[in-house]
Structure 1
Amino acid sequence: MKGTLVALDQIKGRAAAALVIDGQVQDFLIDPSEDGPALPGTIYRATVDRLIKGQGGVFLKTPDGNAYLRGAKGRAPGETMLVQVTGVTEPGKGIPVTDRLLFKSKFAIVTPDRPGLNISRSIQDEDIRLALRAAVEPLCEDDRMGVIIRSIAAEADPLEVAEDTAEMLDLAHAMEAERTGAPQLLFNGPDAHHMAWREWGMPDDVETEMGCFEHTGVLEQMEAIFADGMALAGGGTLFVEPTRALVAVDVNTGADGSPMAGLKTNIAAARALPRALRLRGLGGQIVVDFAPMAKKDRKQLEQVLTAAFKKDTTETNLVGWTTMGNFELQRKRERAPLFAHDLA
C-alpha cells in the first residue's frame, strides 16, 4: 500500500489515530482513559497555591488537581491566572503547565502578547508568501496577538488559511476574557482525531470507518511492537523496556558474527529507534545499550542518530555516551505511554 493514509478509529471507546506511510505505521495516537491525565493543550483558570523557594516555580490549584508552573517569579498566593498543559502528567507529580498560551491549528498558531505576523521560513515561494500575507494580515489588527503561519499552509488555499487563523484568534480572545474567577477547566486539549488532522499534513487518503484499524493492518502492526523485540534490517533485534526511572533500550546482533555486525546492527537500530519510541509514546530519560563495536565507529553512529531524530517531531536531546559505554537521550514527554493492555 503506497502513499500516506490516516486511519481514525476507536479502541475501548477511546479515540485513536494512525499515520500509515507506504503500508507501515509511522505514528499512533490514542486518548487517555476517562480518569487519565489532561491532554496537552488543555487550558485552565488556576489559582496560585504556594511558591517553591529556590526553584522559581509555583504550585497551582486547578479543578483536576495541582499543577506546576516553572519560572513563575513575582506570583503571589491566591493570584488567578490562565495556564496551558504542556505535556503528560507523571504519576505523583503536578500537571506541567505554562502561562505562555499558544492557540495552534493546522495552518496557524496564535501567540498572545507576542504580536506580529510571521510566515514559516520553509515556505520559500515568494508568490505563496505574498498570497498568505494578503489573506491573513487583515486579521492581525489586535496588536496583542501574534500569528505564525505554519509550513503546511503552502499546500492550502489562502482563504482556508485565513479562516483557520480567524478561528484561533476568536478562541484566543475568548480565553483572554476568562482571566477572573474560581479555578475552572476552560478548554480541552485536542483529542487523537483532532491531532491527526492538525499535525499529519495532507494525506492521500483518510479512513474513518469504525474498525478500520483491522483491515488497514494498523492493529496488527501495533500489537507487534509489544512482541519480544522489534526485528531490525539485517537480522538484529531492538528491545525497548520502559521502567519507572527511565526507558532501557537493548540492541542485539542476532546470528551475524561478522566483524562489522555490531556497527551494522547499531545503525539499523538508530534508524528504527525514533519510530519505536514514537509508537509507544515514550519519553524522559532513555538509555541505549548498543551492540559491541569499535570506539572509532561511534562518530558514524552518532551521525545516523542525529539524522534519524532530526526527522522526528518530538524534541529529543542526544546527550551522548556514558562512562559505561551506553548512549543517553532525553526526550520530551508529549503523550501518555502506550502499553499492550491499551490495545487488547
Structure 2
Amino acid sequence: MPNKMLIDATHPEETRVVVVRGNRVEEFDFESAQRKQLRGNIYLAKVTRVEPSLQAAFIEYGGNRHGFLAFSEIHPDYYQIPVADRQALIEADERAHREAEEESENRSSRRRSRHRSSRRRDRGERVQSEVIEGANPEAEAAQLTDAAQVGDHAPDYGHDDAHHDHDHPHDDAHHDEHDHQHGEAHDVAALPAGDDHHQEHHADDAAPVAASDEASAPVAVHDDHAHDDHSHDHGHDDHEHHDHQHESHAHDEAHEAPFVSHGDHQDENHADDADGDDDEDGEDAEEEVVESVGGDDVLEEVPERAFRPRRQYKIQEVIKRRQVMLVQVVKEERGNKGAALTTYLSLAGRYAVLMPNTARGGGISRKITSAQDRSRLKDVVQDLDVPEGMGIILRTAGASRTKPEIKRDFEYLIRMWETVRDTTLKSQAPTLVYEEGSLIKRSLRDLYNKEIDEVLVAGESGFNEARDFMKMLMPSNVRAVKQYRDGQPLFSRMGVESQLDAMFSPTVTLRSGGYIVINQTEALVSIDVNSGRSTREHHIEDTALKTNLEAAEEVARQLRLRDLAGLIVIDFIDMDEKRNN
C-alpha cells in the first residue's frame, strides 16, 4: 500500500495533516485560526519579574500568559557581570564541554564493543544449545555419574555471580551532558552572533568542527523605554497576580521525563550476569538509540543542556527587571502554565539546525547511528563556512543527502538569521520577530521523506502554499504534491476520520486481541497493557511477550497521535524469563 501525506486545508479556520502508511494513520497534527502553535517562535521580550525562590524569571513576550525562563536557559551574554568574571565562567564551561565530549566518545566506543560481544555470545549460546539437544542420552547419563563421583572430593571454585554483579554501583550522575553557555554580558539584551573574544567555547556531542574566521557582528538591542520605568511599574503590578497563578507549576517544566515501568520487579536486584559490565550498562542505559518511526521534532535534534548550577551567581544578581531579551518558545502553554522559554536559539531547516548563539562549530544528530553516514557527514560539516560563534547540527533527514543539498540548506538558514537580526533591531519589546511557519510548511519540512509517495492537498490556497514551499525546499519532489478535487471530503475518502475519532477513546485494541488503556492525569500519563482475547501462542510466556511487543509499538504511535508527553508510566504484562524483559 502506498504511503501518503494528506492535507485538509479546505476551511481556512482549521488545517489538518495526517501521514498514512497503508491504511493506518501514523502522524496527525492540526492548527486552528484561533490557536496557532507558539513553539519555535522567536520573540523580542522583556523581563517582568525575577523570582529568586525559583531561580527563574517571568517574561512578557506577547503570548496569553507570561513565559517561564529558567536560569539555566539564560545565555551568559545577558548576565550583567564584570568582564573578568565572565571570562572565568567561559573557561570553566569550555573545560566542562571538552570533558563531556571525551566521555561521550568513550561511552560510544564501549557501547559498540559491548553490542558486538553480545551478538557473539548469542551465537555461541545457540550453537551450544543445538549441540546439547543432539547429544546421546546414554553418554550424558554416564558423564553425570562420573561427575557425581568426582564432585564429592573436588574443591569448589564456584563464583556467586549474583553477588559479584552488585559490587559495581551505578553512577550516572557524572555522565550528564553539560549545558552549553558562553558569552559577554550587556546591560540590555544582545543577539550574539560572533564576538571574536568569547565565542569559541562550545563543542557538539560529535566531533567539533573549526569555524571560519568570519564573524557575524553582534546585534545589541537597546531598550528605548528606560526613561519610562515608572509607567511600567503599574503594568507590572497588573500582571503580578497572573504570574502567581502558574508559579506553583513552574518546577514541573524542568522535571518531566519519560518513564517505563514493568509489572514484574523480581529481577530488579539482579544485574546482567552475561557481561559483567554493570558499570558500563549503567552509564549507557540512557544513551541507547531508539529507532524513530515517526516524524522528527525539530527541537529534539538539538542536544539537551544538562543543568549545572553556577554557584557563584544567582539570577537576581545578574538579571534585572525590564531587561530586554531575545527568547524562543520551547514548550507550549498548558492549562495554568505559561510557555517555557529559552535564550539559546535554534533555526530549523530541512537538513540542518542552526544555533546562532551557541558556539559549537558543527556536529551530527545522535539519531544518525550509521558509522559511515556519520563519518561522511562530519566531512561535509567541516567544509561548511560556519561563522564563528555559531553552531550547526545535521538532522536525520540529511543523513543520505549530498553536500550541495546540505550547503544550500545551511545558506538558507544563515539568510534567515540575518533577517531575524534585522527585524530585531527595528522592533520594540514585546514583539514577534520570527514565526516557525504554518502547519503545511512544518509538515513538509519535518514529516515528508522519500518513503511518502504523494502529498494530497484539499483546498486551493493550501495546494498553492504546499507546491511553492516544496519547489523551494525540494524542487525534485514538487511533482509529488497533488491537488485533491473530489466532492467527497479527503479524510472520509481515505478512511481517516474513523481513526481520528478513536483517539478520544481511552481503550485501544491491538491486532492480536489484546488492548491498552490510556489515562491522562495532571501529573503523568498511565498506560496499562492487557492480553485480552490474545490466544495465538501456545504458552503464556510467549503470549505475554508478543502482546508486550505489539503494545510497545502501538503506545509509541498513540503518544504521537494524541500529542502526549511528560511522565509516561507503562504497566506491561509480567514476564518470567529475564531475557524477555
- TM-score w.r.t. the length of structure 1 is 0.74
Aligned partner of 1:259 among 510, 534, 540:
540
Structure with the higher fraction of residues in helix conformation: 2
Q: Is the alpha carbon distance of 1:290 and 1:169 closer, same or farther for their aligned partners in structure 2, counting shifts above 3 Å?
A: same
Alignment of 1:248 with 2:248, yes or no, is no
- The residue aligned with 1:26 is 26
Q: Which residue of 2 aligns with 1:281?
A: 563
Does 1:53 find its partner at 2:333?
no
3-state DSSP class of the match of 1:171?
helix
Structure 1's unaligned 5+ residue stretches are: 302-344
**Structure 1 residues 207-235: Cα deviation after superposition (integer angstroms, max 9, x where no partner):** 23314333333333222333462111321
Post-superposition CA distance 1:145-172 (Å, at most 9, x none) = 2222323224345333322212211222
Q: 1:100 aligns with which of 338, 344, 355?
A: 344
Higher relative contact order (CA 8 A, sep 6+): 2
- Tell me, yes or no, if the aligned pair for 1:38 and 1:89 is still in contact at 8 Å: no
| Counterparts of 1:127 and 1:43, CA distance in 2 | 33
The aligned residue for residue 395 of structure 2 is 150
| Amino acid corresponding to residue 540 of structure 2 in structure 1 | P
Task: Verify: 1:188 aligned to 2:466, yes or no.
Answer: no
Runs of 5+ unmatched residues, structure 2: 75-314, 459-488
Kept after mapping to 2: 8 A contact 1:45/1:62: yes
- The correspondence of residues 112-127 of structure 1 with structure 2, limited to 5 A, is 112-115=356-359, 116-120=361-365, 122=368, 124-125=372-373
In 1, the alpha carbon distance for the partners of 2:396 and 2:506 equals 39
Determine the C-alpha separation between the residues in 1 that align with 2:568 and 2:55. 27
CA contact (8 A) 1:113 1:144 kept: yes
Q: Per-residue CA shift, 1:240-269, capped at 9, x if unaligned?
A: 232334323232322357633445433322
**Alpha-carbon contact 1:85-1:97 (below 8 Å) kept:** yes
Give, in whole Å, the separation in 1 of the partners of 2:365 and 2:569: 34
Per the TM alignment, residue 120 of structure 1 is displaced from its structure 2 partner at its CA by: 5.0
- Give 1:91's match in structure 2, choosing from 307, 313, 335: 335
Cα distance, 1:203–1:39 mapped onto 2, change above 3 Å: farther
Candidates 414, 418, 441, aligned match of 1:173: 418
CA, structure 1 residues 228+181, in 2 after alignment: closer, same or farther (shift >3 Å)? closer
Separation of aligned partners in 2, 1:286 and 1:114: 31
Any idea what the Cα deviations from partners look like across 1:263-298, whole Å, max 9, x if unmatched?
54333222211111111111122333444x35x457
Q: Please report the RMSD computed on the Cα atoms of aligned residues, expressed in angstroms.
A: 2.9
Hey, what's the Cα distance between the residues in 1 that align with 2:432 and 2:50?
22
Letter in 2 for 1:62: Y
In structure 1, give the amino acid aligned to 2:499: Q
- Aligned partner of 1:238 in structure 2 is 516
**Higher-Rg member (1/2):** 2
- Identity, % of aligned pairs? 27
Aligned to 2:457: 209
Q: Does structure 2 retain, via aligned residues, the 8 Å contact 1:39–1:190?
A: no
Separation of aligned partners in 1, 2:523 and 2:555:
19
Partners in 1 of 2:345 and 2:381 — Cα distance?
A: 23
The answer to which structure has the higher strand fraction is 1
Deviations 1:64-94 (A, max 9, x none): 1300111243221110001111122111111
SS at match of 2:540: coil
Letter of the aligned partner of 1:28 in structure 2? F
Q: How does 1:279-318 map to 2 (within 5 A)?
A: 279-291=561-573, 293-294=574-575, 296-297=576-577, 300-301=580-581
Quote the Cα distance in structure 1 between the aligned partners of 2:521 and 2:10.
24
- Closer, same or farther: CA 254–129 of 1 in aligned 2, 3 Å: closer
Change (3 A) 1:99 1:215: same
> Residues 217, 129 of structure 1: CA spacing in aligned structure 2 closer, same or farther, 3 A cutoff?
same
2:214 is matched with none
Match of 2:17 in 1: 17
Are the aligned partners of 1:67 and 1:96 in contact in 2 as well (CA < 8 Å)? yes
Gap change, CA 1:255 and 1:216, over 3 Å in 2: closer
Q: In the alignment, which residue of structure 1 is the partner of 2:504?
A: 226
- For 2:400 and 2:325, locate their aligned partners in 1 and report how far apart those are by CA, in whole Å: 37
Distance 1:133 1:271, change over 3 A: closer
Which amino acid in the other structure matches residue 85 of structure 1?
V
Aligned partners of 1:86, 1:67: CA distance in 2, in Å?
A: 10
Distance 1:10 1:297, change over 3 A: farther
For 2:403, give the aligned amino acid. Answer: P
Change (3 A) 1:203 1:268: closer
Looking at structure 1, the residues matched to 437 and 540 of structure 2 have their Cα atoms a distance apart, in angstroms, of 49
- Give distance in 2, aligned partners of 1:298 and 1:91: 42
- Give the C-alpha shift of residue 127 in structure 1: 9.4
Matched residue type, 1:80 = V
Secondary structure, counterpart of 1:176 in structure 2: helix
2:441 aligns to what SS in structure 1?
helix
Q: 1:163 to 1:212 in 2, by over 3 A?
A: farther
Counterpart amino acid of 2:493? H
Aligned partners of 2:335, 2:365: CA distance in 1, in Å? 37
Check the 8 A contact 2:346/2:354 in 1, yes or no. Answer: yes
TM-score (norm. length: structure 2): 0.46
Match of 1:304 in 2: none
1:296-336 C-alpha deviation (Å, 9 max, x unpaired): 457734xxxxxxxxxxxxxxxxxxxxxxxxxxxxxxxxxxx
Quote how far apart the aligned CAs of 1:133 are. Answer: 4.5
